[in-house]
Amino acid sequence: MGDYETLKAMVEAQLAERFAQSEPLPQQKLVDAVKYSLLAGGKRLRPVLVLAFCQALGGDAEAALPVACAVEMLHTYSLIHDDLPCMDNDDLRRGKPTNHKVFGECTAVLAGDALQAEAFGCILRSGLPAEVRAACALALADAAGINGICGGQQIDMESEQRALSETELMNMQSAKTASLIICACKMGAIVGGADAGQLEAAVCYGAALGRAFQIRDDMLDEMSDPAMLGKSIGKDAKNGKTTYMTLLGVERCEELVQKLTDEAKLSIAAFPRHELLTALADKLCERKN
């Protein structure tokens, strides 16, 4: 059974192979832009969750690698687009200049578009059984669309300079952040052969972990520094956005992160091999970047 670093290394190796080339293409700038953001490192949380859930149910992590790569491709697309001048207008991502700063806005938009398409292609071209491919592609589509990442980003943009209630904030972040984390957990469980109860447990874990992750993000946006975080800080306050920190303060946020972490761990306690998922929840609870 692989630990976090082992599973992360598996993902990194597979991602590097996905866009390997023997010779340049006419659209080489687009390929370079895709690889620039996709291979820029990061926690690889979502693909590791896919592999960890598959393993937790006794499945083969190698078989789940195409699905793990797909969720990271879709996540990377969302980061490229979130950083664009028309959205969050960020200069730094994962410690490097954002995609549009290096390749220009047009190519950055196309790089995001290409990664979203390739994410679904990665699942559908895999050797997994047809019903598994279909279920994973549907889960990813639900997480990416109007009720997922795109919908959450729209609400986020419309919420600038407007005070949100805790319920409104939670609904927005459930779509923008937690939806893809839930999807990663769910897809890993699907590949691992989960029954209905185990699938529900995976969703519960992802929902609790996703909310805790966002609360910690809001805390780090105020309390960390760009070198540690790998991206700009203080942008939420600058843009007049409501965050968990503005609503609850640091002490209540810390308590809520711990409570949600405990909920996530409890939800998968009955899994045959839950140790990595339990350790991962604890690791994210204490993260500094």
Per residue in 35-73, pLDDT tens?
999 999 889 999 999 999 999 999 999 999 999 999 999
Stretch 84-107: mean pLDDT, rounded? Answer: 93
Per residue in 134-193, pLDDT tens?
999 999 999 999 999 999 999 888 887 788 888 888 888 899 899 999 999 999 999 999
What CATH code is carried by the domain that includes residue 258?
1.10.600.10
User: What is the residue type of 174?
Assistant: S
Domain enclosing residue 124, as ranges:
4-285
Q: Could you please report the per-residue DSSP string of 55-112?
A: HHTT--TTTTHHHHHHHHHHHHHHHHHHTSTTTT--SEETTEE-HHHHH-HHHHHHHH
Residue 166, pLDDT score? 86
**Which residues have a Cβ under 8 Å from the Cβ of 235 and sit 6 or more positions away?**
88, 90, 221
For the ranges 114-128, 158-172, 207-221, the one whose mean pLDDT is highest: 114-128
The fraction of the chain above a pLDDT of 70, given in percent, is 94
Residue 260, pLDDT score? 96
- The half-sphere exposure of 226 on its side-chain side, counting CA atoms within 13 A, is 12
Q: How far apart are CA 131 and CA 190, in angstroms?
A: 10
Count Cβ atoms within 10 A of the Cβ of residue 262 and give its class: 0-12 exposed, 13-18 middle, 19 or more buried.
middle
Per residue in 194-209, pLDDT tens?
999 999 999 999 999 9
- On whether the CB atoms of residues 68 and 47 are closer than 8 A, the answer is yes
Residue 230, pLDDT score? 61
Q: How far apart are CA 57 and CA 273, in angstroms?
A: 7
Residue 36, pLDDT score? 97
Using pLDDT thresholds of 50, 70 and 90, give the confidence band for residue 22. confident
Judged against a pLDDT cut of 60, whether residue 123 lies above it is answered with yes
- On whether the CB atoms of residues 207 and 280 are closer than 8 A, the answer is no
Quote the number of domains for the chain.
Answer: 1
Residue 227, pLDDT score? 62
Stretch 74-101: mean pLDDT, rounded? Answer: 94
Stretch 4-33: mean pLDDT, rounded? Answer: 93
- On whether the CB atoms of residues 208 and 264 are closer than 8 A, the answer is yes
How many C-beta atoms lie closer than 10 Å to residue 173's C-beta?
23
Average pLDDT, the chain: 92
Judged against a pLDDT cut of 60, whether residue 1 lies above it is answered with no
Residue 237, pLDDT score? 67
